[in-house]
Structures are given as structure tokens and as C-alpha cells.
Chains A and B, each alone.
Chain A
Amino acid sequence: MTKRLHGPSLYYASDKNVFDALNQHKVDTKTIMELFERRNIVVSKKTPRESLAAYFARQIYDYQDHKDIAARLGIAPRRERITSMDVNGKVDHSHLQVAVDQLKVELESSGEVVQVTRESNKVTITVQYSTMDYKVSEFAQRQERDGTIELIKTADGYTVRNTHNEFVDNVAAELITKLEKASETTLSKVTVSLFDVPTAQLRSKFFHELAFKLPGYQQSDVTAVYVFKAKPELHGNDEEDDEDDDTADGETHVERVHLRGRGVTRSEILNELLEKDDYYITKIAWGAREIAGAGHDYDIEATFTNPKDCNGFSFILSGVYPFEDGQLSTRRRPPLKHEIDEISRVVENKARELVTLLREEFKKANAGEEDAN
């Protein structure tokens, strides 16, 4: 795991930080009164905000104060994307148990909080960790988060599904290494990637099919599409000349275009980019309406973290419009755990199926071209 260069930044907020935070308009007088109340203090609401902020700032604070102020400043932890990988090979439950236990001991010895839950064909590991962002206000810099890694038994091994970020990705990788050691085998790792399918049309097709042909769901709207075209690599010329040498042919290059709205895939702009200009889709957000069952509408977003090579596939179920009283609600709610599980399952399966399919298609097309030549 990466070692931090600094400590956890301004973790104990200074009086100046607190003063500044309490003077922000997002923090209402009620919140300030409550902070005082927890210290057995009643202040007059006629006292100017600045005086109250200065008074509170002189006090000693605890973690709860910090969390309350941070919450007021609107820094609620957001849900994160999910990524997954299949690890296939000769591994069984006892190997997994050894690997998970080792991982737990190691993480705990370095002070992380780890919880392991075993169900019949699934092991869930929850790790509490914190993230830093020095670009934001002091109160938002450190955030406590929960990361999950799920291991689901498959016919060939396990599906490893985890929260997609550097910390949890590393923990998952560590777990897989331990699993290999425990089982004394090398496991094949299958990720969703289109690295070896370099054709723009086929890469776009991946997202098209994912959004339009998700089994059990009907596409209700496409609200965002991100397209990408890598900057052409210069041949012959040294790359370092690149910057200075704009006279090369004075050409501009638009690398990525984001389109947001309704029915984005039907738009003329998108189709021109895709058909004429060789751009390909690297991210899509769409509504998927359940055909059977409750009939809810799910907002899903899927993307390749690395658009150039089309790897690092991840997705998120960002919200649900529930079907209630015979109609679709206009109010979006956060998804429930079982909904995330179900959407993850179908998205993963469809994505894997599509990757296999597109690889075949690419091979065929290539072979066809070679034949023609």
C-alpha cells in the first residue's frame, strides 16, 4: 500500500479553520447554536455570526464537532463505483479462508478496521479507510470511507467485486496474491477490457449493447455519453518537439467530448462524431427499466477509467426511480443493497459476454481484411 508523504493534513482543525468554516453561509445559525448546546452553552441569536464563530473557535473540539461542521459544509461521502474481475483456477473455500484471514490480520495490525462476513457462496470484506484531498477546505480533506470487496463463487473460481479506488483496488490485488499463495496455483485474471479491440466502432458497440441489450431491462433514456479519440502519435518526429512545433501542420485535436441531455444517442452531433470522425464511446449513463418485477427505472453509469486503452472498467448504480402506484416516481432515491447486487451481476455478465463477442468480431474482421489483401 502506498505510503503517505504527509500526515493526515489538518486533521485537528485549528481555531482559524473552525472560524472560517462557521462563517460560511452553508453553516446556519441553528447548527452553531447546537454546537454550543452540546457544551452546555446558550448564546443569544442576536449575537453577530462572526462573534459566535470566534467564540466557538476558541474552544477545544472533538471528532463529533468536526463531523457536524463537515456535514454542514455538505461534504457527505459519496457512493463509489464498482469494478470487478474474475479469478479462475483451482481454488476452493479453504484457500479463500486462509487468504482472507491473513489479509485481515495484516490490515488490522496497521490499524484499519476490517469486517468479514461469510455467506454460502459469498465472502464480503469491509475495510474502513480514509482518503485525503488537499484541494478542498480543511473540513473536507480527510474522509472516512468504507470499501467493500466481495468474492462470489463461480464455476471456474471467484468473481472479485470491489469498490473502485486506489486503496481498495490494492487491497483486492493483495488478496488475490494471497489466494494464489494459499492455493499454490497461478490464477487467471479476467477483467473487462477492450485493449485488444482497437476499432472505434467495436468499442462504441460495447457501450451501445450494454445500455440497449441488458438482459431483463429496457433502455429508457441515455443521459450522457463521453466520446474519446486519442491524439494521433507523431511518427518519426521526436515527441519533445511536440509542444513547440505547432507549425507542424497547425492542426487542432479535440480529445474528448462530453454530451449530456436526453436521448443523447439519437443526437446528430454524436452520430457524426462516431461515424465520420472515429471517436468512440468511453462512458455512458443510461436509464434501465426493469421489464419484469417491480418495474423500477435504474440510473446506471459505466466507464473505462483509462479511455485510451479501454481498461479499468467500472460502473455505478447512481439512483433509482421507483415504480409506485402505477407510475414511475419523479423522485430519485439511493439504491438498496440488493438492487446494487442485482445490477452489478447483470452488468458484469453482459460486459464479459460483450468483450468475448467483440474480440471474436475483431478477429474475424481482421482475418477478412487480410484475406482480401
Chain B
Amino acid sequence: MAETINIGEIATKLSKEIFKHFLWTKHPKHDDNFKCTNPEHKSDGKEPKPKESHPGDVVFYYNDPYLGKKVYLHTDLKSYAKKSITTSKLRGAFKSLSMTIDCAKESEDWRNKYSVLADEAHDIRGLLFVHNHDNKYTSSFSETISKMDLNNLPLPAGAIIHFLGPDDIQRLYSIGNDIIRLRDEEALPKEYGFYYPDLIMVRRHGDGIRQAATVESLTGPYLILRHGEAANCASGFVIYYNRPGASPEEFEYFLDCLSRYQMLERDQLIRIRVTNGDANDDLKSVFEKAKKKYVKAWGFDPARESILDKMEIERITSVTTTYNPGDMGWRT
């Protein structure tokens, strides 16, 4: 058994097995520190000392479609046993990452290390990645988070921290696998992008063709992938649906979202792939009911109704073995 898988190897694995599918790029620099420039940042313990540096495990980046700038995710990789996923442990991690982001946003050292050009518009955010290595953590990570008070983190105005818990990681891994599977079946072309339509208050930047998924949409209710034709499918959308499908109203709202995004067109294939493990058993009939209600509410003609009828809804095949990118070399 390999004794030491280091942070670099884990980061590479995560990138290859998960984030690459969302078209994120990993910066080659791993496991490095950058200088702390804020004397208020102190270590924990009985005699808090000013920090000399902040750690950085790995940095992922992508172009944000609405901001028109590069988003750098300064990522803290944590691996905990079930019993260690506690509010106090997480609080420590959030606090440390808050201070890191506070410094990183204004650090030339950081920009040099991660090759940010002087004239490049960018946004640096934190990403706390919490892996459970003994696979015993079955509760909902969001419930643990909701018990914490995250209002008083030393986070400066405008700063943002994203987090991924064990269940999110599992879900993203399953989505990545689903993309591989669809491509293998030639039900999805090699090239695809994620879909971000023009909104009312903000327009999309770029041509949108190889658009990466934003970190917000990986944890949002729906993640929309847009693709061209492949041997076994017409062009259209694959939507990863991350909600329970509990009521027709929930799906009606979703359908209306697709309509607002101008996605309900005749020549577009729409495939809905449900990713939520706790999704309703009766998913298909609830979805049918929602379609009927929606058609009725808008007084759709048969042509329009047939577009809705052609939509497919399936669960993604959940990956049976729990995702584990390796046991050693993590920060705890």
C-alpha cells in the first residue's frame, strides 16, 4: 500500500475525477504557503501568535459567465473521520480559511504564486472541501452546517467562502461519472459547456461554448449542461437536478425556469438527470402531474405540449462504491 499520497496527488486526482468534468482548471502549484500581511491574524491556542503565512492546498479556476472575470478558488482540502466532522472542527476550518482569503485578496505574493496577471480582472474565494475518509458519515452535511453560526467569521466585506461536504462530493463525483458514461455511449459529444443565459440585470460574457460550471451552480438546484449533436443524441441540454422532486409545484417552478431560459424549443433534446439521493420514489408521476398543470396554466397548444412530453427524466446511476480519492496525505 502506498504510504504517502501527498496533497499534490490528491489534488490531481480530484481535478481529474471531479472538477475537470465541470471544465475547471487546476493550478499546477500545490501545497504552498503565502505570506500573511495582517497582524490581526493569529494562531489558535493559549498564547495566540501572529501568523506568518497562510496555507494553500490547491487553487482551481474558471471564467465566471456573469462577472466576466476569472474566479480563483483557494481550496482547503480536509479529510475527517466521521467523529471529527463536528461543528467546532468545522468552525476552526472556516475561521482559518476566512483569514486566508482576507489576506489572499490583497496579496501580491499570492498573485505571483498563482500566476495572476497584473491586468487580469479576478476574484479570489475560499473553497472548503470536506472529505470523510471512513465513509461512516451518513448524515446531511448541510444540517451540521446549519447548526453553526457562520455570521461572525473574520471574513472581510465582499469575501465569499464555498464549501463542499461528503454528500456534495459524492454527488459531484456521480455527475462526473454520468458525463463519462453518456459520452461513452455517444449520447453526449466530447465538447460541451454549461449554460448561463442572459439575465435581466446582467448579461453573459464570452461565447458560452466551453463555459465552465460555476461553483454556485454545482451546489445550486439545477446544473444545466449544453451540448451539440452526437452519434446517439440531438443537440440540447442535460440538466442535473439536485432537488427532491417532492411536489408538482417544485417541478412546475423548474419547468417555468426552463421556459424563462428559452430552452423549451422543438429541436432541443432535454434530459433531466436527478442527482438527489433522497429524491421521491414517485418521481416520474410527480413530474407528469407538473407537466399537465403547467400546460394547463399556460394554455399551451399541442405543439408546445409535445415539447414538454419529449422531456426525459431519469435518476443518474449512483456510483456504488463511495468516492475516496486516497487516504493519506490529507490535512486534518
Q: A4-B297, A7-B299, A60-B222 are in contact. Are A41 and B216 (CB under 8 A)?
A: yes
User: B217 near A: Cβ within 8 Å?
Assistant: yes
B145 x A37 contact (CB < 8 A) = yes
B153 x A110 contact (CB < 8 A) = no
Q: Which residue of B lies closest to A41 (CB)?
A: B162
Whole-angstrom CA separation of A16 from B298 in the bound complex: 22
Residues 1-28 of chain A: 1 if any B CB is under 8 Å from the residue's CB, otherwise 0?
A: 0011001100110111001000000000
B166 smallest CB distance to A (angstroms): 12
Whole-angstrom CA separation of A59 from B158 in the bound complex: 17
Q: Which residue of B lies closest to A54 (CB)?
A: B201
- Chain B residues closer than 8 Å to A57, beta-carbon distance: 199, 201
Q: What is the number of residues of chain A that contact chain B, defined by CB distance less than 8 Å?
A: 43
Which of B3-11, B48-56, B69-77, B252-260 lies on the face that meets chain A? B252-260
B142 x A38 contact (CB < 8 A) = yes
Within 8 A of A (CB), among B284-313: 289-290, 292-299
- Chain A residues closer than 8 Å to B316, beta-carbon distance: none
Which of B12-20, B37-45, B242-250 lies on the face that meets chain A? B242-250
Whole-angstrom CA separation of A59 from B215 in the bound complex: 11
- Chain A residues closer than 8 Å to B159, beta-carbon distance: 43-44, 47
- Chain B residues closer than 8 Å to A55, beta-carbon distance: 160
Whole-angstrom CA separation of A162 from B246 in the bound complex: 28
- Chain B residues closer than 8 Å to A54, beta-carbon distance: 201
A14 smallest CB distance to B (angstroms): 5
Within 8 A of A (CB), among B249-282: 249-250, 252-254, 256-257, 259-260
B100 smallest CB distance to A (angstroms): 13
Q: A3-B299, A16-B200 are in contact. Are A42 and B292 (CB under 8 A)?
A: no
Whole-angstrom CA separation of A43 from B158 in the bound complex: 7
A58 x B199 contact (CB < 8 A) = yes
Whole-angstrom CA separation of A62 from B246 in the bound complex: 12
User: A113 near B: Cβ within 8 Å?
Assistant: yes
A111 x B248 contact (CB < 8 A) = yes
Whole-angstrom CA separation of A63 from B292 in the bound complex: 18
Across the interface, B157 reaches (CB within 8 A) one of A11, A40, A47, namely A47
A60 x B217 contact (CB < 8 A) = yes
B216 x A39 contact (CB < 8 A) = yes
A12 x B293 contact (CB < 8 A) = no
B249 x A63 contact (CB < 8 A) = yes
B220 x A59 contact (CB < 8 A) = yes
- Chain A residues closer than 8 Å to B152, beta-carbon distance: 45
Q: A40-B219, A41-B161 are in contact. Are A12 and B142 (CB under 8 A)?
A: no
Residues 118-159 of chain B: 1 if any A CB is under 8 Å from the residue's CB, otherwise 0?
A: 000000000000000000000000100110001111011111
Whole-angstrom CA separation of A281 from B250 in the bound complex: 45
A65 smallest CB distance to B (angstroms): 8
Whole-angstrom CA separation of A37 from B149 in the bound complex: 11
Residues 74-96 of chain B: 1 if any A CB is under 8 Å from the residue's CB, otherwise 0?
A: 00000000000000000000100
- Chain B residues closer than 8 Å to A63, beta-carbon distance: 243, 247, 249-250, 252-254
A110 x B243 contact (CB < 8 A) = no
User: A323 near B: Cβ within 8 Å?
Assistant: no
User: B28 near A: Cβ within 8 Å?
Assistant: no
B118 smallest CB distance to A (angstroms): 25
Q: A42-B153, A44-B155 are in contact. Are A15 and B200 (CB under 8 A)?
A: yes
User: B202 near A: Cβ within 8 Å?
Assistant: yes
User: A48 near B: Cβ within 8 Å?
Assistant: yes
B201 x A15 contact (CB < 8 A) = yes
User: A31 near B: Cβ within 8 Å?
Assistant: no
A51 x B200 contact (CB < 8 A) = no
Across the interface, B164 reaches (CB within 8 A) one of A40, A51, A58, namely A40
Q: A11-B256, A60-B257, A62-B221 are in contact. Are A44 and B157 (CB under 8 A)?
A: yes
User: B60 near A: Cβ within 8 Å?
Assistant: no
Whole-angstrom CA separation of A63 from B283 in the bound complex: 16
User: A123 near B: Cβ within 8 Å?
Assistant: no
Residue of A8, A11, A46, A47 with highest tally of chain B CB at under 10 A: A11
Residue of A45, A65, A144 with highest tally of chain B CB at under 10 A: A45
Q: Which residue of A lies closest to B219 (CB)?
A: A40
A58 x B162 contact (CB < 8 A) = no
User: A167 near B: Cβ within 8 Å?
Assistant: no
- Chain B residues closer than 8 Å to A110, beta-carbon distance: 292, 296
Across the interface, B160 reaches (CB within 8 A) one of A41, A59, A64, A109, namely A41
B215 smallest CB distance to A (angstroms): 8
A62 x B253 contact (CB < 8 A) = yes
Q: A15-B200, A60-B257 are in contact. Are A40 and B150 (CB under 8 A)?
A: no
Q: Which residue of B lies closest to A56 (CB)?
A: B216
User: A274 near B: Cβ within 8 Å?
Assistant: no
Residues 160-173 of chain B: 1 if any A CB is under 8 Å from the residue's CB, otherwise 0?
A: 11111100100000
Q: Which residue of A lies closest to B293 (CB)?
A: A111
Whole-angstrom CA separation of A19 from B157 in the bound complex: 19
User: A66 near B: Cβ within 8 Å?
Assistant: yes
User: A61 near B: Cβ within 8 Å?
Assistant: yes
Within 8 A of B (CB), among A54-84: 54-55, 57-66
A40 x B163 contact (CB < 8 A) = yes
Q: Which residue of B lies closest to A58 (CB)?
A: B66
Q: A40-B164, A42-B155, A66-B253 are in contact. Are A60 and B248 (CB under 8 A)?
A: no
Residue of B164, B253, B259, B295 with highest tally of chain A CB at under 10 A: B253
Q: Which residue of B lies closest to A111 (CB)?
A: B293
User: A33 near B: Cβ within 8 Å?
Assistant: yes
B161 x A12 contact (CB < 8 A) = no
A12 x B259 contact (CB < 8 A) = yes
A37 x B150 contact (CB < 8 A) = yes
- Chain B residues closer than 8 Å to A47, beta-carbon distance: 157-159
Whole-angstrom CA separation of A19 from B202 in the bound complex: 12
A44 smallest CB distance to B (angstroms): 4
- Chain A residues closer than 8 Å to B254, beta-carbon distance: 62-63
Across the interface, B146 reaches (CB within 8 A) one of A11, A37, A64, A113, namely A37
Chain B residues engaging chain A, CB cutoff 8 angstroms: 66, 94, 142, 145-146, 150-153, 155-165, 168, 199-202, 216-217, 219-222, 224, 243, 247-250, 252-254, 256-257, 259-260, 289-290, 292-299
Task: Please name the 9 residue pairs, one residue from A and one from B, whose CB atoms are nearest each other, closest first.
Answer: A111-B293, A62-B221, A12-B256, A44-B155, A46-B157, A40-B219, A63-B253, A7-B298, A111-B292
Cβ contacts A to B, 6 pairs, < 8 Å:
A38-B142, A42-B161, A44-B157, A54-B201, A60-B220, A63-B254
